[in-house]
Chain A
Amino acid sequence: MNYPLLNKTAAVIVFLALWEILPRFGLVNPMFIPPLSAVLATGLHLVENGELVTHTLVSLERAFGGLLAAMVVGFPLGLVLGGGFPRLREAVGPLMELFAQANPLILAHIIIFFLGIGQSARIFIIAWLCLWPITFSVIDGIRSADPLLLKAAGSLGLGRVGLFTRVVLPSSAPTIFTGVRLAAGYAFIMLIASEMMGASSGLGWLVAQGQENYHVTRIFAGAAVITTLAVATDGLLRLVERRVVVWKVNTE
């Protein structure tokens, strides 16, 4: 018997069991919260008719597209601002804080006006929110490099570029991973929001359809898949993090 595993999964198992039992015995209204088995049946049905796979793929494309776009922009932006341009950082810092707090959904109609109602508008909305934790974490990571390590490496006559690649970048890896994982979480939250307005596909749309047609099991099936995807993505990132940031493993 693996006790640590039991410890970690016990709460989830109890939760799933209650989800099944409470509606079955009428302790909660199954109209609003159908039992787990009913949700699974609907999920299975959606898998069989291919709907679920199609919508999942569309959603994944949006979520990862947005996250990837945020990384493509955020990494260099963070490197420039965290690296050698303290004046520029001071100048644009407040603006970035402002942008980070601006919810792109508010501006959804304007974004759609510019990018159309298709895939790119949704990816843009996701990327916008993911961009800031990534950029800020890169800036923080770079700036928090241990001065003692820089001194030790600098005493060997290492130049700016060498110090950057051999000391600053590796020491910022843990901070950057935190930012990327945060962004990945945002990506899935924004995914659903963006798919609930004017979309005709995706898991968010599946949930929205369920709401409109009182298909409660569809809502829950969609929600379960989205949650699983988000958890799996975070797990994957953790796995990569553990392989890259070997020296922080024991502190978690």
Chain B
Amino acid sequence: MATHGDGTHKEDLKIVLKDIGQVYHLKKSADGSREFQALKDINLQVRAGEFVALVGPSGCGKSTLLDILAGLTRPSSGAVYIDGKEITGPALDRGIVLQGYALFPWRTVRRNVEFGLEIKKVPKSERRGISDHFIRLVGLEGFEEHYPHELSGGMKQRVAIARALAYDPEVLLMDEPFAAVDAQTRETLQDELLRIWDETKKTIIFVTHSIDEAVFLADRVAIFSSNPGTFREIVEVDLPRPRHNSDIRSSAEFGWVRHRIWELLQSRPSQECREGGNIVVKDAISPSATI
């Protein structure tokens, strides 16, 4: 059983995914209309304060699942519960961080961070203190009045994280947030994320391509297989915490967990690629840190 940084067990369930399935009706082709099963039989229970990573090949439905969690897409079957309540749409109890930053270019760093607060109708006088706090938390003090185009990729992603945290959602959904930054910045951001997670005690669902990233960050790693997208296995990452600012990446245990996940991803039965008709998954997952 994974434990949180302070060593306490947190058994209360935050998120429950129950029998999630997602079917897309593809446009009619020569052989009539076809259906594409993007997700099938997804079941997952996430404890409050837990960090769960989702890894898998491109097109396996990771991002679709995150959209369902965000409430942007309704699943064809099954349901998502947060604190025991079924979610029916997007809401401020979940924060989302996307790969492409998605910062509003016409807003300064501060105003980007305050976006969710405005929607939450937090009075202007309070917004400033909150945005100050989260801008400091992601290490961007001094850049409050800068516009996104004046920032580097890594800084933009920090703003996006601060924006998602500022309106105090209990769940943070992250869709390959560090995929677009260079390897070095990526490791820094991973360290930062763990530190922030430690400080804020959020429940995090983190989608990634990178096995290293998943192992470094998560309590558990859910491994996807594609066509249809479903969990092949959920691996506990029983590495000591805190892991940030540590050399855990080069430890033997780290290498062992990484290898196990790599093997699980490699052992994809070959017919899976053919089952989906013309939908062929080309990307093989490599064990290296970045794809």
State the A residues within 8 Å of B (CB).
Answer: 146, 148-149, 151-158, 162, 166-167, 170-171, 173, 245-248, 250-251
Contacts and interface: CB of A to CB of B under 8 A. Distances in A.
A167 B107 CA distance: 11
A246 B116 CA distance: 22
B72 interface: yes
A140 to B, nearest CB: 17
B149 interface: yes
Contacts of B106: 170-171, 173, 245-247
Contact of B94 (A152, A155, A251): A155
Interface of B: 70-72, 89-92, 94, 96, 98, 100, 102, 104-106, 115-116, 119, 147-149, 167, 173
7 closest A-B pairs by CB:
A152-B102, A247-B105, A155-B96, A157-B90, A148-B102, A170-B106, A157-B91
Contact of B100 (A148, A156, A166): A148
B147 A151 contact: no
A173 B90 CA distance: 27
Contacts of A158: 90, 119
A167 to B, nearest CB: 7
Contacts of A247: 105-106, 147-149
B178 to A, nearest CB: 16
Given A149-B102, A149-B104, A151-B102, A156 B149 contact: no
Contacts of A148: 98, 100, 102
Nearest to B93: A157
Nearest to A158: B119
Nearest to B160: A152
Contacts of A146: 102
A154 B73 CA distance: 11
Could you tell me the dominant secondary structure of chain A's interface residues?
A: helix
A245 B173 CA distance: 31
B116 A151 contact: no
A156 B114 CA distance: 12
A156 B192 CA distance: 24
Nearest to A245: B106
Given A148-B98, A148-B102, A167-B104, A154 B148 contact: no
A157 B148 contact: no
A146 B173 CA distance: 20
A248 B150 CA distance: 11
B119 A162 contact: yes
A60 B106 CA distance: 33
Given A170-B106, A246-B106, A247-B106, A151 B92 contact: no
B114 to A, nearest CB: 12
Contacts of A173: 106
Contacts of A246: 106, 147
Given A149-B102, A155-B94, A156-B167, 7 more contacts: A151-B96, A152-B96, A152-B102, A153-B115, A158-B119, A166-B115, A247-B106
29 contacts: A146-B102, A148-B100, A149-B104, A151-B72, A152-B96, A152-B98, A153-B115, A154-B72, A154-B90, A155-B71, A155-B72, A155-B90, A155-B94, A155-B96, A155-B173, A156-B90, A156-B91, A156-B92, A156-B115, A156-B119, A157-B92, A157-B119, A158-B119, A171-B105, A173-B106, A246-B106, A246-B147, A248-B105, A250-B149
